[in-house]
Structure 1
Amino acid sequence: MKPSNNRRLPVNASRLLESDAIDERKFVVALARGLDILRAFRPGETLLGNRDFVERTGLPKATVNRLAYTLATLGYMRFDEAAGKYALDTGVLSLGFALLAGADMLELARPHMRALAREIGAAVSLGCRDGLDMIYLETIRSETALTLGLAPGSRLSMLTSSMGRAYLAVQESAARAALLEELAREQGAERVEAAARAIDDYARDGCCYSFREWHDDVNAIAAPFRDVRNGRWLVLSSSGPASSMDEAYFRDIIGPKLKALAARLG
């Protein structure tokens, strides 16, 4: 099952420079733009051309040409002569493995996530923020039922996913307001209003929901916790087909178990 196509692109260097969130004296624009090129790839895509990079990053064609050539020379992308497009290469993979190898929380969480997925018959995922999106670090699918679950590295909308809403709910008010303002500029005030209501859900229930909002046949619930060792917020979520797992199942059955696991991990 594919997610809806309304997901946003990662925030790029140009938009960051327009905000007050960074110190321009310390910010290396060329490096940020190179990373924008790498982040233009979406889950399931293998080849992108310079036109794709221009559309997704907003960078000039000449800049894209130089950045793509540099990244290919360094081994982070490779150029497919037959297709006339670029693919990610092993340099990116090595960075990903380095991150996952050093993520102690993943090693701690996996057996608990596996046990919970088996118990509730739904997918259980762990994710964190990446720009204005959430990114999956791990997903455990249920072995006892047909469940949904995206692969590690998949991105989710911060506004329509339960994981993104849970992340927003635990941010300090000033930081959350700034983040919602940026999201409103990118995706529209209507979606922000729906996500902002999730803060009330968290205050009342200790978790956030996304019922048929991220995808027409996906229900999901999420609970955040603080990874003290790495100083960041992580989010546990569980998702399943809305056609067979209704809202009550997520609120009454999965919710308490997911919150208990988040509390243990945090």
Structure 2
Amino acid sequence: MTPISTLSEPLDERKFVVALARGLDLLRAFKPGETMLGNRDFVERTGLPKATVNRLAYTLTVLGYLRLDETLGKYALDAGVLSLGFALLSGTDTLELARPHMRTFAREVGAAVSLGCRDGLDMIYLETIRSETALTLGLASGSKLSMLTSSMGRAYLAVQPLDVRAALLAELKRSAGKEGAALLADAEKEIEAFAQERCCYSFRAWHDDVNAVAVPFREPREGRWLVLSCSGPASSMGEEVFRESVAPRLKALARRLGDTG
């Protein structure tokens, strides 16, 4: 279950519905590229008792958010989740405004440009636009990356209040296991540099041949933090290219879309 300390809003326990939160944790248990999960997977990933997982999975199946494959004894996400995703994307005015600018940016830079927001301890991609010549690993809408290793996640962390950031970093370190300390040190270095750079980088951190830079901005209507990122192949777009060419352009685009602080 998502740790209370890492929630984006202060918790009022009188209003917080634990059963609902647990049900959503089951849906969040699916990782990009996974199509089927069993009860054992849910138990391991959420830490919930097996009996609770059984009841929650049954309820989500009845409501159309999960689909049970009786032959395999495993669950897949169903149409209810897809409809929520489409509602999110269609209701994001900033995304509609950003798309044409992102297309131009991707074409001029020759890379992939993405817009994302926070989802638990990850950043979820709302949109990714690639240039026709981009050779980088592009992530589709709905894909997720850890805050700890992605430039997008580091940029989001950099603009959070100190107490929220500390709680998130502690949980990220714990979830990263043995590599947590090294990954945390790398992320904190980028976060610290944000004060001067006004962006965060990720050089070969989540993939050996991917470099990236990200810039956060607060969208005008809802006031939430979104993050723009640009990624390209490290073999042809080195650190110097990102620092001297890509980052300044991405900062300018972010300022057109919202308040960069």
**Which of residues 212, 235, 258 in structure 1 aligns to 2:250?**
258
Does the CA-based 8 Å contact 1:221-1:255 persist in structure 2? Answer: yes
Q: 1:45 corresponds to which residue?
A: 34
Q: 2:44 corresponds to which residue?
A: 55
Q: What value does the CA root-mean-square deviation take over the aligned residues?
A: 1.8
The CA distance in 2 between the partners of 1:163 and 1:41, in whole Å, is 21
Does the CA-based 8 Å contact 1:79-1:87 persist in structure 2? Answer: yes
Q: 1:27 corresponds to which residue?
A: 16
**TM-score, structure 1 normalization:** 0.90
Q: 1:224 corresponds to which residue?
A: 216
The verdict on how the C-alpha distance between 1:217 and 1:28 changes in structure 2, with shifts beyond 3 A counting, is: same
Q: Do structure 1's residue 182 and structure 2's residue 171 form an aligned pair?
A: yes
The CA distance in 1 between the partners of 2:175 and 2:129, in whole Å, is 31
Unaligned runs of 5+ in 1: 1-11
Does the CA-based 8 Å contact 2:101-2:253 persist in structure 1? Answer: yes
What SS does the corresponding residue of 1:221 show, helix, strand or coil? strand
Q: Do structure 1's residue 16 and structure 2's residue 4 form an aligned pair?
A: yes
Q: 1:6 corresponds to which residue?
A: none
The correspondence of residues 67-86 of structure 1 with structure 2, limited to 5 A, is 67-86=56-75
The ranges of structure 1 where at least 4 consecutive aligned residues each deviate by more than 4 angstroms after the TM superposition are 17-21
Does the CA-based 8 Å contact 1:125-1:137 persist in structure 2? Answer: yes
Q: 170-179 or 245-254, which moves further after superposition? A: 170-179
Count of equivalent residues: 254
**TM-score, structure 2 normalization:** 0.92
1:222 partner letter: A
Does the CA-based 8 Å contact 1:159-1:191 persist in structure 2? Answer: yes
What SS does the corresponding residue of 2:231 show, helix, strand or coil? strand
1:28 partner letter: V
Cα drift, residue 18 of structure 1: 10
The correspondence of residues 84-233 of structure 1 with structure 2, limited to 5 A, is 84-187=73-176, 188-233=180-225
What SS does the corresponding residue of 1:78 show, helix, strand or coil? strand
Unaligned runs of 5+ in 2: none
Does the CA-based 8 Å contact 2:134-2:232 persist in structure 1? Answer: no
Cα drift, residue 23 of structure 1: 2.4
What SS does the corresponding residue of 1:260 show, helix, strand or coil? helix
The CA distance in 2 between the partners of 1:18 and 1:158, in whole Å, is 12
Cα drift, residue 178 of structure 1: 2.8
